[in-house]
């Protein structure tokens, strides 16, 4: 297993849609393992393949993230291949949402309350499930990545502009030092 490099905004590839996985082979399975390890190493609850420079429709998530009683001594993640949201209802605000690819920024994001996800598991078996709460937020956030959408694309233009200005100023200062 390996820890992968997280791609960060403003990397252009983060805004490109990912392609479907046609064959689940050893390379894909190794990528999934590495993504799971990377997600936990970076203290994330979800990670999409574009965030590690692979524009394929794969995501991993902490399958225990929604259980506050879980002591998390054993890290456990699940993977979805070619996931899509096929149904969504209700709305709420995901407070203080963050992203490993959007450094040092958190914001409130309007999300669906309940979603139905269809995907393949790592064995290529089709699955469909309903998600609510934190798992629904993780699914929407990570599937957005697969569609080339960052959570900052879902906040107000003013907040997004403020973040970009701060980021570009920081990047410019880093280049000159």
In this structure, the chain runs to a length of: 177
Whether 42 is a known active-site residue: answer no
User: Residues 22, 142, 173, 175: which is the catalytic one?
Assistant: 142
User: Distance between CA 73 and CA 154 in Å, rounded?
Assistant: 34
CB neighbour list of residue 171: distance below 8 Å, 6 or more residues apart: none
**Residue showing tokens 């998390």:** 72
Q: In whole angstroms, how far apart are CA 26 and each of 29, 32, 98, 123?
A: 5, 10, 31, 11
Smallest CA-to-CA distance from 117 within 59, 56, 31, 38 is with: 59
Q: Tokens in use for 111?
A: 């999300």
Q: Tokens in use for 69?
A: 């009683």
User: Distance between CA 31 and CA 50 in Å, rounded?
Assistant: 12
Which sequence positions are flagged as catalytic? 142
């Amino acid at each position: 297993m390996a820890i992968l490099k997280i791609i960060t905004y403003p990397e252009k590839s983060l805004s490109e849609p990912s392609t479907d996985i046609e064959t689940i082979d050893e390379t894909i399975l190794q990528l999934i393992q590495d993504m799971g390890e990377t997600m936990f190493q970076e203290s994330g609850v979800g990670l999409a393949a574009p965030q590690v420079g692979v524009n394929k429709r794969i995501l991993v998530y902490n399958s225990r993230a929604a259980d506050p009683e879980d002591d998390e001594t054993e890290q456990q993640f699940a993977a979805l291949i070619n996931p899509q949201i096929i149904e969504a209802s209700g709305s709420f605000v995901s407070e203080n949402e963050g992203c490993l690819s959007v450094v040092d920024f958190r914001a409130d994001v309007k999300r669906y309350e309940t979603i139905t996800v269809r995907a393949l598991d790592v064995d290529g078996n089709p699955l469909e499930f309903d998600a609510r709460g934190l798992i629904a937020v993780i699914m929407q956030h990570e599937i957005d990545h697969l569609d080339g959408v960052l959570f900052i694309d879902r906040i107000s233009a003013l907040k997004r502009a403020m973040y970009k200005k701060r980021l570009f100023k920081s990047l410019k200062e880093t280049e000159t030092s």
